[in-house]
Amino acid sequence: MEKKKLEGKFQEIQAKLNDLIIKAPFNGIIGTKNYSNGSFINPGDVITSLYDISKIKVEIYIPEIYISEIYKKQFFIATLPSINNTSFKGELYAINPSIDKETRTFKVIGIIKENNNYSLKPGMMAKKIINFDSKNSVLIPENCIIPIDDETFVYVINKKNIINKVEVITGKRIDGKVEIIKGIKLSDKIVFEGINKLKAGSKVRIE
């Protein structure tokens, strides 16, 4: 009888001791502690933060002209200047379909699954590279562009040396040049100087 009482007392004490042990729901890294050893705390007090950074999420903001070229499970490379330009390979898993009106970009979320030695930390800045399929594009100087409200035009010279105003759809801008997605062909003659002095229907002489 005495043995059972002692066993019951032992189990009671053991349960109280177990209540004093804090167990994390997952493996990770403990951040800075808010309390020192021996401090008295109340239920609900935050003692520290626990981070699982074996995998890192990456936010990427992409210009809207590439929205048709982005897809889930697409690979990307993240390079971090803060750790000697070390590169990490990841893949995209979420794409926000909404375009930001101010920046004209959309957000995608990628994940880097191999954070070796926990060298990647939340909040780090990285250079992201996404390789798209190569393509042939028509590039013209920026000063060829004629913006009118929400539309874009260029002056094209036809075979009779008459100027036509042609609406175009533009893409990305590179070093003072603009990509033309639709509206003109590679063989078209484009006016790139003095466009403010010309108008559609004028005849010009090509020198």
Share of the chain above pLDDT 90, in %: 14
pLDDT tens, position by position, 157-178: 988 888 899 899 888 777 788 8
Is the pTM for the entire model greater than 0.85?
no
Q: Are 9 and 2 in contact (CB under 8 A)?
A: no
What is the three-class DSSP state of 73? coil
pLDDT at position 134 over 70:
no
Token pair belonging to 150: 């929400």
| Confidence (pLDDT) at 107 | 94
Give start-end residues of each CATH 2.40.30.170 domain in the chain: 52-129
Q: Specify the higher pLDDT residue, 152 or 17.
A: 152
Domain spanning 52-129: CATH superfamily:
Efflux pump adaptor protein, beta barrel domain (2.40.30.170)
What topology is assigned to 138-197 in CATH?
A: 2.40.420
Which residues of the chain does CATH 2.40.420.20 include? 138-197
- Mean pLDDT of the residues in the chain: 84
32-54 confidence digits (pLDDT tens):
888 888 788 888 888 888 888 88
Q: What six digits make up the tokens of 39?
A: 């401090």
Tokens of 206: 């090509």
- Please calculate the CA angle 15-20-25 and round it to the nearest 5 degrees: 100
